[in-house]
Amino acid sequence: MDHQSSSSGSGVSLASFENENRVAAAATDAVTKTSDVAKQVTTEATRAIGKAGSTVTHQVKEILDRQVGVGAEMVGHFAHSAKRAAEDLEEKAPQAAGLVRGIADRLEDYSVELHDQSVDRLVQRAADFTRRQPALVFGLAALAGFVALRTMKASPSVASPSIQPSQQSRDPYASNSRGL
């Protein structure tokens, strides 16, 4: 009897062990499936964000390309105005007129060349120029910074209202008490 009870105790223990293994296997399977779903969601979210970012980038590039075209047209108008100025200068200062006309021709050529460029191409050309002439670019940047600083220092400052109480009244509610 003692032997039967121990063997029936083993049966319960074995069944309990098998149930624990099934529960552990089910839990592991659930965690694996949850992990797979999380990976899928992450992948889809990353893909969606990338697509949205790509769309925004494309739209920004289109806007900038249009602005490059507008800028090219402005340079063209400036070149046309410079040519008219050269015509006006022709009688009184032919050398100055020739110089202005030469500048106007270069501006017009630059305008035509700029009109056919994309923002990507302009950035690439600027990067190439910077690699070829770093000292010149650094010098121009320093000059631009100096001019900007001098311009900001020379501009009149805007007077800000005083934060100190006025001499007439130290009590901010004094003027309101008279009218009540």
Digit-coded pLDDT (tens) for 95-132: 988 998 998 899 888 888 888 788 888 888 889 988 99
**137 occurs within a structural domain:** yes
Gap between the Cα atoms of 141 and 137, Å rounded:
6
Let me know if 171 is exposed, middle or buried by CB neighbors in 10 A (0-12, 13-18, 19+). exposed
128 falls within a domain = yes
Could you tell me the residue range of the domain that residue 130 belongs to? 118-150
Long-range CB pairs of 168-176, under 8 A, 24+ apart, other chains included: none
Residues 91 and 70: beta-carbon distance below 8 Å = no
* DSSP per-residue codes, 149-177: HHHHHHSPPPPPPP-SPPSS-S-TTHHHH
Residue 11 covered by a domain: no
pLDDT of residue 4: 44
**For residues 119 and 111, is the Cβ–Cβ distance under 8 A?**
no
Q: What percent of the chain has pLDDT over 70?
A: 77
Residue 44's φ and ψ, nearest 5 degrees, are -65, -40
Is there a domain that residue 86 lies in?
A: no
Kindly state whether residue 134 falls inside one of the protein's structural domains. Answer: yes
Measuring CA to CA, how many Å separate 139 from each of 36, 125, 136, 143, 171? 56, 18, 5, 6, 57
Model confidence pTM above 0.85: no
The answer to the question of residue 54 being in a domain is no
Domain count, the chain: 1
pLDDT(142) > 90: yes
| Confidence at residue 164, expressed as pLDDT on a 0 to 100 scale | 67
pLDDT at 69: 84
The answer to whether the CB of 164 falls within 8 A of the CB of 171 is: no
Residue 129 covered by a domain: yes
CB 104 within 8 A of CB 83: yes
DSSP 8-state secondary structure symbol assigned to residue 1: -
* Nearest Cα to Cα of residue 80 among 36, 119, 111, 39: 111
In a domain, 135, yes or no: yes
164-172 own/partner pairs: CB under 8 Å, 24+ apart: none
- Interatomic CA distance for residues 70 and 76, integer angstroms: 10
**pLDDT tens-digit series, residues 70-101:** 888 888 888 899 899 888 888 888 898 899 89
Cα separation, 100 vs 108, whole angstroms: 12
